[in-house]
Structure 1
Amino acid sequence: MKTRLTCPCGEMLRGEDEDQLVEKVQKHLADNHPGHDYSRDEILFMAY
């Protein structure tokens, strides 16, 4: 299960599970990188 992703801006995002990680990454993108929308599959591809 992938629960971590490091954004290119340097912020480390972690979730308790993949669902929570995807939610946190999508919120981070909306708040900090408008226009950069990624699907669940794209986020999990980049996660570890």
Structure 2
Amino acid sequence: MKTQLNCPCGEHLTGADEDELVDNVRKHLTENHPGHDYTRDQILFMAF
């Protein structure tokens, strides 16, 4: 299970599970990188 992702902006994002990680990444993108939308699969591909 992947629960961490490092955004290129330097932010380290985490979640208790993959669902929470995807939610946290999407929230981060909305707040900090408007217009950058990724699918769940794309987010999990970049996660570790």
- Report TM bin, short chain: over 0.9
Q: Which sections of structure 2, spanning at least 5 residues, go unmatched?
A: none
Matched with 2:25 is: 25
How far does residue 19 in structure 1 lie from its aligned partner after superposition?
A: 0.1
Residue 47 of structure 1 corresponds to which residue in structure 2? Answer: 47
TM-score by length of 1: 0.99
Runs of 4+ in 1 over 2 A off after TM superposition: none
> How many angstroms does 1:8 deviate by?
0.1
In structure 2, what is the Cα distance between the partners aligned to 1:12 and 1:24?
11
Give the superposed CA RMSD.
0.2
**Percentage of pairs with the same residue:** 71
2:38 and 2:31 mapped to 1: Cα distance? 14
2:16 matched to 1:16?
A: yes
Deviation at 1:28, TM superposition (A): 0.1
User: What residue ranges of structure 1 are gaps of 5+ in the alignment?
Assistant: none
**How many residue pairs end up in the alignment?**
48
